[in-house]
Amino acid sequence: MQLSGTNLLSLTATDLRDMLDQGAITSKILIQSYLNHISAHNRQGMGLRAIIDVAPEANILKLAEELDFERQAGKSRGPFHGVPLVIKDTINTDSKLGMDTTLGSYALRGARPPGNSRVVQAEFGSNKSPDFVAGFSPVGGQTRSAYIERGDLATFPENHESPMGSSSGSAVAVSAGFSPWSIGAETNGSLNSPASRASLYALKPTVGSVSDDGVFKLTDAFDSLGAMAKCVDDLAALTEILLSTVPGRLPPSKISDGALRQKIKGLRLGFVDADQWLLPESILKADESYLKQRRAHYQQAINRMKNSGAMIIHPLDLRQASEYTFEGQSAYSLIRYGQWPALARKYLSTLLNTNIRSLEDIIAFSEENPDLECYPEAPDQQSLIKALKQNTSPELLARAVTAMRKAAADDGLGKAIDDHKLDALIAPTDSDISTVAALAGYPIGTMPLGYLEPSGRPHGLSVLAKADCEKNILEVMRAWEASGFERRLPPPLVKQLTGDLDSSAL
C-alpha cells in the first residue's frame, strides 16, 4: 500500500528508516509513493517546481527493488538504507543514474560529469533540485513556496512570498513531502534562508569540512554543502554523513542516534538585537507589520529559552556584515566574485560532452539563446559579468581571505563566543548574519521560529558556533525542538491534499 501525500508531508527519514526496518513498507513502495506525489505537485497541482530532474522511473524502481533484496539478505548499506534524498543540481551524479547536472542552465544540458560526487557516493540521491537565485533557473523555472497561496502574491510586502535562495528547490522539496530530507549548498544564506522559509532545520557545516569533489561552487572561502530536514534527528544524521566525506579528515564526534542533549537548561546563548539585524531592502522590504511580528516571535524565543533554564546574553553586540571591508571595498563581494571565474573553469574542465568551459562561454550561450536563458525572473547576467570584470589577483584574494578569517572569526564571532563563554550565537535568519558566518568560515544553521501573517510565510532563527562545533548548533536546535515548538505543515498543500478548509490549524 502506497503512502499518501499527507503522510509524506509529515514523515521524517527516521520514521521511514524505522518503517523499513520493521518491514512495514518496502523501498520500492516508498519510492513509488514519492514519485507519484512529485508528479502531482511539482509541475502540476501547486506547480512548486522544486524538482528539476528525477531519475527515470524504471531505473529508480529497479534500484529500490535491489535495495529491498539487500535488506532481506541482511546486507544493509547503512542505517538509512533505501531512504530517498533530494540533492541540489550543482552536485554531480553519474550519467548512469539518468539525471543531468545542469546547474539550472540549458548551456549544460547533455554535459556529463565524470562520475558521482563523493557526497553522492556516500548517500544515494534520487532527485535533483534547481540552482539559481531565489529559486529560479531556466531549466527548472520558478520554484514556489508550499506555504504561500498563489492567488495572494500581490497582497504581500515585496519578496515575502519568495522561497529565497539558490537551494530553495532542496528546501521546498522537503516541506512539500517530495523527500524526507535534502542536501543544498551555501555561499551566503543560500541554504539557510530557503530552509527558514520552508519551516525546516538546516545546517551549513564549517567551510572545508565537507567534500567538494564533483560540486560546482562560487568560492573556496565561503562555500559548503549542507543538510535540510523536518526534524533535528534527521539533520544530525545527514550532517554526520556529510562530515565523513573528506578523505584523511578526522571523523566528527557522534552527533546522531541520541548523542545530542535535549534540555535547554545550562546552555549559554547570545542573542543579537533583532532590530539591528535585517536583510538589505533590495532583498526584503520590511514593513511595520512584518517588523512587529518578527520582534514578538524573537522575544518569545528568548523568553522560552530563559524560562527553560538557559543563560541568555541579550543584546549581544556584533559588527555588521557591511563593516567588514578589505582595501576599501566589501570583503565579501571581493572574495565571492574574485574566486568564481577560476573555480568555474576548474569545474567545467571536468565535464564531458560539452564545449562550455568558462563563465565567458556561459554568457555567450545565453546571449545566443535568449529564448532559453533570459526570463523576467532573471533578465540579465550581471552577476557573471561582474565576476569577470573584477579580475582580482589570486594573491590579493588570499590576503583578503586571511584578513577576514581573523576579523570575522578570531576578532569577531569567535571573540564574542569566548568572552561570554557561549555555546552558540542566535540571530534572525532574515538578516545578513550569514555573511559574517561566511567570512569567518563558521558553521551556521537555522531552526523554525514562527509564521508571519497574512501570508503564513515561515521564518527562522540562525544559530552559529565556532569552527567544527556543529554539535553545539544541533544541541541548541534539539533543545528548541524538545521545548515544544511544533512545525506547521504547509496549509495550501494540505488543503489540496485533504480538502480541509481548516488546514491552517495543522
Given the residues 33, 95, 137, 190, select the one marked as catalytic. 190
Helix 433-440 vs helix 331-348: crossing angle, to nearest 10: 60
- Secondary structure class of 330 (helix, strand, coil): strand
H/E element, 381: none
The three-state DSSP-derived secondary structure of 194-246 is HHHCCCCEEEECCCCCCCCCCECCCCCCCCEEEEEECCHHHHHHHHHHHCCCC
Name, in order, each residue with C-beta under 8 angstroms of 215's C-beta and a sequence gap of 6 or more: 90, 91, 92, 117, 119, 185, 225, 347
Helix 288-307 vs helix 470-482: crossing angle, to nearest 10: 90
Residue 132, class by beta-carbon neighbours within 10 Å (0-12 exposed, 13-18 middle, 19+ buried)? Answer: buried
Q: C-alpha distances in angstroms, 10 versus 181, 184, 201, 489?
A: 11, 20, 14, 7
For residue 154, the Cα-to-chain-centroid distance in whole angstroms is: 26
**Active site annotation includes 88:** yes
Q: C-alpha distances in angstroms, 60 versus 66, 102, 172, 173, 241?
A: 10, 20, 22, 18, 22
Q: Which of 461, 462, 410 is nearest to 434 (CA)?
A: 462
DSSP output for 92-160: ---GGGT----TT-GGGTT-B-SS--HHHHHS---EEE--SGGGEETTTEE---TTS-GGGGGGSPTTS
Residue 76, class by beta-carbon neighbours within 10 Å (0-12 exposed, 13-18 middle, 19+ buried)? Answer: middle
For residue 314, how many C-alpha atoms fall within 13 Å in the half-sphere facing its CB?
19
- How many angstroms separate the CA atoms of 148 and 3, rounded? 24
Residue 282: how many other CB atoms lie within 10 Å: 8
**Active site annotation includes 166:** yes
Given the residues 28, 88, 230, 466, select the one marked as catalytic. 88
Q: Which residues of 40-55 are buried (b: 16+ CB within 10 A; e: fewer)?
A: ebbeeebebbbbbbbb
**Active site annotation includes 190:** yes
Pairing, β 181-186 against β 86-88: parallel
Given the residues 105, 137, 145, 166, select the one marked as catalytic. 166
The amino acid at residue 78 is G
Pairing, β 224-229 against β 329-330: unpaired
Query: Would you name the residues annotated as active-site residues?
Result: 88, 166, 190
